[in-house]
Amino acid sequence: MFSQWDFERSVLAFMLVLILGGGGYILWQRSVADELRTGLGTSERQLTEIGELAQDVIDLQTEMANDVMASGRLGAFAYIEKQEVDSRIGKKFNIAPPTPEEYPSEGYEDTRFVLSVALPDYDFTRQEIANFLLFIEGNSARMRVTRIRLDLSPRKGAGADMWKPTLTITDRHPIATS
């Protein structure tokens, strides 16, 4: 049968093979496209999650850059003194030497600062104390007031809402790894 084929029949047979091969290729590409289309929803969801995580990271980096303690622009003593001035309570506290406590299994270290009233004639209203505490905790994620002791002012002429606070402020930071 093939011995009697001429050139035209060979070309037609070759074209038929190409057409059948092309049709098979088209069907195969459609199945690949369908698989890709079904995975598109999952990919879009993953990209959305990645975008949300990236935004969270950017927000945390911005927050850290704005936090003078976490960014390393101020040390703990300078930060406490700055908050005394900013809260308008004034530099009226003695700051005891810090006592560090390491928690290596947790990966952080606490440094505690005890603030006591510097002079006997210094006393404060609860609102002044609260404002100072708000400045301490509100301007840094690392500093927290962990103990408050309020004693009524024994000073003559002090009002009923005058107090002598003793405060413990804790600076929690990660342990530096080498």
In the predicted structure, residue 131 carries a pLDDT above the cut 90: yes
Average pLDDT over residues 57-71: 81
**1, pLDDT greater than 60:** no
**What digits encode the pLDDT tens for the residues 72-104?**
778 888 888 888 888 888 888 999 999 999 998
Q: What is the CA radius of gyration of the chain?
A: 36
The pLDDT score that the predictor gives to residue 174 is 85
Per-domain residue ranges for the chain? 2-65, 76-174
Residue 121: band (very low, low, confident or very high) from pLDDT cuts 50, 70, 90: confident
Residue 98: predicted pLDDT: 92
> φ and ψ at 94, to 5 degrees?
-90, 135
Instruction: Tell me: pLDDT of 2 over 70.
Output: no
| Averaged pLDDT, 18-27 | 92
Cα dihedral 158→161→164→166 (10° resolution)? 180
Q: What is the pLDDT of residues 138-173, one digit of tens each?
A: 888 888 999 999 998 888 888 888 999 999 999 988
Identify the residue whose tokens are 């406490």: 80
Overall fold of domain 76-174: Alpha-Beta Plaits (3.30.70)
Which of 106, 108, 94 has the alpha carbon at shortest distance from 169? 94
Calculate the average pLDDT of the chain: 87
**CA–CA gap between residue 150 and residue 101 (Å, rounded):** 25
d(CA 1, CA 15) in angstroms, rounded, equals: 19
The model carries a pTM of 0.62
Q: Please give the distance of CA 78 from its chain centroid, rounded to a whole number.
A: 23
* Per-residue pLDDT, 3: 65
Report the 10 Å Cβ neighbour count for 123. 22
Strands (E), the chain: 93-95, 99-103, 108-117, 143-152, 163-174
- Quote the pLDDT of residue 130: 92
CA dihedral 143→148→154→157, nearest 10 degrees, is 60
CA dihedral of residues 129, 133, 139, 140 (deg, nearest 10)? 150
Q: Name the residue with tokens 């698989």.
A: 35
pLDDT at 62 over 70: yes
